Amino acid sequence: MRSLAVAGLLSACAAETPWRTQITTTPSADGQSSTECSLIGRIACSTMAIVTFEGSDSRQASCTASRSGGTYIETCGTAVAAAATASVPPAAVPPPKPQITTANTTSASSSSVQLTWKDNSNNEAGFVIERCDQILRDMSSANTATCRGGWKTVGSVAANTTTYVDKTVTANQTYIYRVKATNSSGSSAYTPEAVITAPVK
C-alpha cells in the first residue's frame, strides 16, 4: 500500500506542475556545493517519469540541482530520447546502357559474328546479348533493318566483358543484335541495334 501511495502522490504532483516539481532536501553536513542531483532526487525523477509516461521509451528523466539561498533544490524534467539511427546504404540503381562499337564477322572456320561494345557502367553484374532473326531489310541501306519477329537471348557475359562471339548464326543470313547491362536492381536500356550478315565459310 505504501508503494501505491507514493506512486499516487508523485502522479498528482506531476499532473499539477508537469516536470517542474521541486524536491527540496536538507543541505549536506559538509556544506558541499555540488550541482549533481542526489541519489534520492534521481530516483524520484525516474519514478515520476515512469508514472506520467507509463515507461515510454521515447522519454528520459532528467534531474538538475541548484541552490537558492540556504536551500538545495533538485528539479525534475524530461528529454526526448534520441532515436537510434541505422546506417542505410544508398539504393542500388540499374546500370547505364552500353554502346555497341562494332559487329563484325570472324576469321573462324565456321560462320560466326563478333560483337564489341563499350562498357559505360561501373555497377553491372553482366551483359545480355539478344538477337532478332526475322527482319525486314531496308534496300537503300545495307546497315538498316527492322525486327519483325521476337528477340531472343543468345548469350550473356560477366561484368567488364566487352565482346561476344555468336557461333549459332547461319551463313549469309542477316541478323540484328542488341546488348543490355544488368544488375540486381534491373537492366539498362538497350544499345542501338547493330545489323550484320553472317559470312559464308
124 closest CA partner among 165, 101, 154, 96? 96
Helix (H, G, I), strand (E, B) or coil at 47: helix
Question: pLDDT for 69-120, tens place per residue?
Answer: 667 777 787 766 655 566 777 777 899 989 887 777 766 657 899 999 999 9
Q: What residues does CATH 2.60.40.10 cover in the chain? A: 99-197
pLDDT above 70 for 30: no
Per-residue pLDDT reduced to its tens digit, 4-28: 434 444 444 443 333 444 444 444 4
Q: Which CATH superfamily is domain 99-197 in?
A: Immunoglobulins (2.60.40.10)
